[in-house]
Structure 1
Amino acid sequence: MKATMLKFIMYLQDSELVASFQRKCGLFAIEIEHQCSDETKLVRDIKNPPDDRLTAKQRGNGNLKEQLIGSETHDSNSNYKYETTGHNVDGAYWPRYQVRNMLFYYLFLLSAGLGQEVFYITFLPCIHWNLDPFLCRRLVNMWTVVMYIGQVMKDMLKMSRPLAPPVVKLETRVDAEYGMPSTHAMAATAISFTLLLSAAHRFQFWFEAGLLVAIVLSALVCLSRLYTGMHSALDVICGVLISGMLMLVTYPSWETFDQLQLTSPLSPIVAVVLPLFLSYSYPELDHYSTTRGDTTIILGVGSGCWVGYWVNQQLGETFEPQGEFPLPLPALTAPALARGSARFLVGVALLLSTRQVVRTLSLWMLCTWHQVSADDTQAHRRKEIEVPYKFATYAAVGLVNTTLLNKVFVLLGLS
């Protein structure tokens, strides 16, 4: 029994399983065979037999070498897409992958984006601005807990990501990170189902439809981690299970934590001291990884939002919907959509401005204090610089989102 279980786990961890999924979705690793003639560069898939080779002439677009120059190229006859590396062999570039199904390509890239900073800095605040600050607070709290635990587990377990080849890797920034568990899968699961469970007590909607949406969105994000080649099936499955277990364990205490977070006089102190401590005590690695910086960003956002929601509660300006819960969902009228779009654009602009200003100032102050150049990107990775500047930057973003922006909307007549 143990041997069978171990064999199954190894199967889920196998890089070839990820590569097989990619090929089924139309993503193929390819390479260039450098021939003597510049006019005859042959392209073949690593997994395909030799008779699948296509010459430049057969592609009907002249010299293949010209096709492959640049980061992305498209085949005019087959609608295939090629991605090239910067590796040069006598003028010939070596493509990394070929996309044969553009629908899956864009679907999974978009789904992968649901676990990136651009999504968090737009979707979570948008819930606060256009629906209910209560829901945003719940989401940020759960997202912070789940992501911190997932990031720490990565650097403690130290399990590698899928190997390339055979896997095609579409992301490079986080390739130095370890793989187990998938924090994309954890975050997608936590955000989807925390929103579903919390909204059920605040708004009237068809719960089964919400459940279906939560399942589909979570599944798309999970599958995108296989498609992009960044995680094994085991990483993704464990990420979902860990996130689900954390939600199950913490769910009974959500209401109690809400009350303490909003009313306790110690709340703002804990909101700053605890995340800062967790940022500085993050596990050390023998090489630089983006996990510490990304974790600090998450903790900074959680800290800033925590303080902001406490301040709003003390001032009696929570900006939450009024009435007897659950309330009907806001009507999607043209004026409502226009106001919502305006709040979104103003909000994102102010958050990005806050991020840029505070980041620049904090980096300049820290680099001056430590006597290093503010342009030295290697210096930015030092703990004494990376942790405080990222924490300050994103704590400011969280604070502005929860306190200042609501007042701006009122002044602009967008409330």
Structure 2
Amino acid sequence: MVVASPSLIIHHLVLCQQDARLLGHRLAQAGTRIVASLSQLLGQLARVSNWPLYCLFCFGTELGNELFYILFFPFWIWNLDPLVGRRLVVIWVLVMYLGQCTKDIIRWPRPASPPVVKLEVFYNSEYSMPSTHAMSGTAIPISMILLTYGRWQYPLIYGLILIPCWCSLVCLSRIYMGMHSILDIIAGFLYTILILAVFYPFVDLIDNFNQTHKYAPFIIIGLHLALGIFSFTLDTWSTSRGDTAEILGSGAGIACGSHVTYNMGLVLDPSLDTLPLAGPPITMTLFGKAILRILIGMVFVLIVRDVMKKITIPLACKIFNIPCDDIRKARQHMEVELPYRYITYGMVGFSITFFVPYLFFFIGIS
């Protein structure tokens, strides 16, 4: 029997180690080439070849973003029906808040890319289950029909067409954009139906309380603050945290503004004897006043938002000793983001239901 010397064994071990390193290096190079090839392939797949479809789904996904909300709810409150607008906001705040909190509890990641091609990356830091876009896209059209049918005169078939078209457009857009799976969408849809079934009977009671109760503003502000403080348990920064504070602040501001407006008699809901309401004839005067209200109101709201941002962010940084050189980085601290979002959008909501209607009354276009 031949026994190898220790030096020979060590020499063979060194050679094996070198071969393993060489093999690992080649595997890493191969992996890099594969990733590069996949990236190139995905880049080719991400090129838009059907622009009408792409634009349609971009519009669908915008129906769940801030730009849509900041135009949609004021339009209802200023031009169509303040009561319906306020109650839509109550439902929207409830649905979105529960959706965002559920995301942070379940913590399912977004669809992996590859194989999914993501055409939107802004909300990529959020969790995926359930889809809050799908929840909003389900809650708003259904609530619109529930709140307006019987209050306004129109054929029910219009609502039965609107609901599936609106809901399908928003839900399919999230899959097309690569931000959600089909399971996320189905869960968001069913979750919203459950929330509406449980809470919709109380919407009238909540709206009446917001307007008429003596201590409603203090209860509204305290409740929305408590919901915000006790719901943020994320270990890392996410757009979910700021969006939730923004939703709660907007809801609190709109509710408090409606309380002040009601007690000042600026906006009075029609009596039950006049229901169902008939739409007024569309004239150039009516159309012109509606456009004027939107333009003046939105300019005022955007000014309020920008002014409050410039005040609240540096103030929060100063109070909590956070460097304010990089505003974007400073906003990712919870101590800055939550007060800034809540106060800023609280004032935006208050402006929508009080300051702007008072301005319309003052210049004679209410």
Distance 1:217 1:153, change over 3 A: same
Name which of 319, 333, 336 aligns with 1:385.
Answer: 336
Rounded Cα–Cα distance in structure 2 between residues aligned with 1:158 and 1:315: 45
Which residue identity does 1:239 align to in structure 2?
G
Name which of 181, 197, 210 aligns with 2:130.
Answer: 181
Query: Is 1:281 aligned to residue 230 of structure 2?
Result: yes
Write out per-residue CA displacement over residues 85-119 of structure 1, whole angstroms, 9 at most, x where no aligned residue: xxxxxxxxx66611121111000001100100000
Rounded Cα–Cα distance in structure 1 between residues aligned with 2:340 and 2:45: 36
% identity of equivalent residues: 38
Rounded Cα–Cα distance in structure 1 between residues aligned with 2:45 and 2:348: 37
Which residue identity does 2:332 align to in structure 1?
R
Name which of 304, 327, 350 aligns with 1:354.
Answer: 304
Q: For the pair shown, which has the larger CA radius of gyration, 1 or 2?
A: 2
- Give the RMSD, CA atoms, in angstroms: 2.0
Query: Is 1:409 aligned to residue 360 of structure 2?
Result: yes
Write out per-residue CA displacement over residues 246-298 of structure 1, whole angstroms, 9 at most, x where no aligned residue: 11111222222222222222311111011111111123222211111100000
Rounded Cα–Cα distance in structure 2 between residues aligned with 1:108 and 1:188: 13
Name which of 316, 336, 339 aligns with 1:366.
Answer: 316
Which residue identity does 2:238 align to in structure 1?
S
Query: Is 1:339 aligned to residue 294 of structure 2?
Result: no
Query: Is 1:399 aligned to residue 325 of structure 2?
Result: no
Distance 1:96 1:345, change over 3 A: farther
Further displaced range: 254-263 or 402-411: 254-263
Please list, as runs of the form range in 1=range in 2, the aligned pairs for 1:264-343 lying within 5 A after superposition.
Answer: 264-321=213-270, 324-343=274-293
Further displaced range: 196-205 or 323-332: 323-332
SS at match of 2:46: strand
Structure 1 residue 347 displacement after superposition: 1.1
Query: In proportion to residue count, which structure has more strand?
Result: 1
Q: Which runs of 4+ in 1 moved over 3 A?
A: 31-34, 43-46, 319-323
Q: Verify the 8 A CA contact 1:156 1:283 in the aligned structure 2.
A: no
Further displaced range: 144-153 or 193-202: 193-202
Which residue identity does 1:219 align to in structure 2?
S
TM-score by length of 2: 0.86
Distance 1:357 1:303, change over 3 A: same
Query: In proportion to residue count, which structure has more helix?
Result: 2
SS at match of 2:321: coil
Q: Verify the 8 A CA contact 1:201 1:326 in the aligned structure 2.
A: yes
Rounded Cα–Cα distance in structure 2 between residues aligned with 1:292 and 1:44: 34
Rounded Cα–Cα distance in structure 2 between residues aligned with 1:311 and 1:185: 33
Q: Verify the 8 A CA contact 1:319 1:406 in the aligned structure 2.
A: no
Q: Verify the 8 A CA contact 2:90 2:203 in the aligned structure 1.
A: no
Q: Verify the 8 A CA contact 2:262 2:268 in the aligned structure 1.
A: no
Further displaced range: 310-319 or 190-199: 310-319
Query: Is 1:209 aligned to residue 158 of structure 2?
Result: yes
Distance 1:386 1:44, change over 3 A: closer
Structure 1 residue 122 displacement after superposition: 0.6
Which residue identity does 1:217 align to in structure 2?
W
2:108 aligns to what?
159
Query: Is 1:225 aligned to residue 174 of structure 2?
Result: yes
Which residue identity does 1:271 align to in structure 2?
I
Name which of 69, 87, 94 aligns with 1:145.
Answer: 94
1:102 aligns to what?
51
Structure 2: runs of 5+ lacking an equivalent? 1-34
Structure 1: runs of 5+ lacking an equivalent? 1-30, 35-42, 47-93
Q: Verify the 8 A CA contact 1:168 1:229 in the aligned structure 2.
A: yes
Distance 1:33 1:385, change over 3 A: closer
Further displaced range: 299-308 or 316-325: 316-325
Rounded Cα–Cα distance in structure 2 between residues aligned with 1:214 and 1:180: 22
Rounded Cα–Cα distance in structure 1 between residues aligned with 2:202 and 2:322: 46
Further displaced range: 318-327 or 242-251: 318-327
Which residue identity does 1:328 align to in structure 2?
A
Distance 1:215 1:317, change over 3 A: same
Q: Verify the 8 A CA contact 1:144 1:302 in the aligned structure 2.
A: yes
Rounded Cα–Cα distance in structure 1 between residues aligned with 2:37 and 2:261: 64
Aligned residues: 330
TM-score by length of 1: 0.76
Q: Verify the 8 A CA contact 2:138 2:189 in the aligned structure 1.
A: yes
Structure 1 residue 394 displacement after superposition: 0.2
Structure 1 residue 375 displacement after superposition: 3.4
Rounded Cα–Cα distance in structure 2 between residues aligned with 1:32 and 1:321: 64
Query: Is 1:249 aligned to residue 198 of structure 2?
Result: yes
Rounded Cα–Cα distance in structure 2 between residues aligned with 1:116 and 1:414: 29
SS at match of 1:203: coil
Structure 1 residue 319 displacement after superposition: 4.3
Which residue identity does 2:339 align to in structure 1?
P
